[in-house]
Amino acid sequence: MTEPRDLAVLDDPPLAPRPPERTTLPSTIAEQLRELITEGVLPPGTRLNERALGERLGVSRTPLREAFRLLAAHGLIELQPNRGAVVVELSLDDVRESFDVMSGLEALSGELACRNVTDAEVAEIKALTFEMLACHARHDLPGYYRINHTIHERINLAARNRLLTQVYRSLNLRIQNLRFRSNFDRDKWNRAAQEHAAMVDALEARDSTRLAALLREHLNRKGEAVLDALRAGA
């Protein structure tokens, strides 16, 4: 593992509906940090400088440290005794195993969604897909990815399986940065966008076999793209 890098001063539409919960300052900070990690502003291996982040986010160290604990509970950062917090850096085996499992969870989400999705949910996912493709045409990767994330969450929720959603969200949090990075190659990003157009067609047709296969292949390709990039970087 590379030596953690000290962080200097740092120069999503809402996710799918979740059970009501009380919003706290630490949870709000944690969400902001999660987005910075996802988009690579805080890359894997980065040591989180409390002073710099406090100034960047306009918060004191107490809620910031509580946000660190929330992110550590989700496996996004590691709290090291006497050394502070560091963004988790997954090994190649971790990445491979995570995408293997995630592809299965996505496929199951698609299969169950075709059985349980409502017409209103299909219409919403279609509208989100059009918005996402517009971001793709503008080369707006952050905007594209935030909507992409919401689409996958909507499909998962349409499956109507609470245990599946719980496991899905837990693993998905660990690999958000990797899923984001899988679109850095323009050709691979173009293909991913095309796959999403096919997904919404399969969902509208309630073709569970096709949608499950599309989602599984979609995630497998993302995993391969990430592994290729990590190997090249190494």
Task: Judge if 78 and 140 occupy the same domain.
Answer: no
Q: 87, 111, 127 — which closes off a domain?
A: 87
Q: What is the DSSP letter of 9?
A: -
Q: 53, 87, 121 — which closes off a domain?
A: 87
Tens-digit pLDDT profile for residues 197-216: 999 999 999 999 999 999 99
What backbone torsions phi and psi does residue 52 show, to the nearest 5 degrees?
Answer: -65, -45
Query: Structurally, how many domains does the chain consist of?
Result: 2
What CATH code is carried by the domain that includes residue 60? 1.10.10.10
- Point out which residues pair with 46 in neighbouring strands: 5
- What confidence category does residue 22 fall into, taking pLDDT thresholds of 50, 70 and 90? low
Q: 42, 61, 87 — which closes off a domain?
A: 87
Task: Judge if 64 and 100 occupy the same domain.
Answer: no
Task: Judge if 102 and 217 occupy the same domain.
Answer: yes
Question: What integer pLDDT is reported at residue 99 of this predicted model?
Answer: 96
Record the pTM: 0.79
What CATH code is carried by the domain that includes residue 168? 1.20.120.530
SS3 content of the chain, % helix, strand, coil (to 5): 70, 5, 25
Tens-digit pLDDT profile for residues 100-120: 999 999 999 999 999 999 999
Task: Judge if 227 and 113 occupy the same domain.
Answer: yes
Task: Judge if 38 and 61 occupy the same domain.
Answer: yes
Question: What integer pLDDT is reported at residue 82 of this predicted model?
Answer: 78
Task: Judge if 83 and 100 occupy the same domain.
Answer: no
Question: What integer pLDDT is reported at residue 183 of this predicted model?
Answer: 87
Task: Judge if 59 and 113 occupy the same domain.
Answer: no
Q: In which domain, by residue range, is 123 found?
A: 92-233
Question: What integer pLDDT is reported at residue 50 of this predicted model?
Answer: 93
Task: Judge if 150 and 218 occupy the same domain.
Answer: yes
Task: Judge if 129 and 98 occupy the same domain.
Answer: yes
Q: What is the DSSP letter of 80?
A: E
Asked if the model's pLDDT at residue 220 lies above 60, the reply is: yes
Asked if the model's pLDDT at residue 142 lies above 50, the reply is: yes
Task: Judge if 122 and 82 occupy the same domain.
Answer: no
Question: What integer pLDDT is reported at residue 130 of this predicted model?
Answer: 97
Task: Judge if 126 and 212 occupy the same domain.
Answer: yes
Closest CA to 59 of 86, 35, 24, 84: 24
Average pLDDT estimate for 1-5: 49
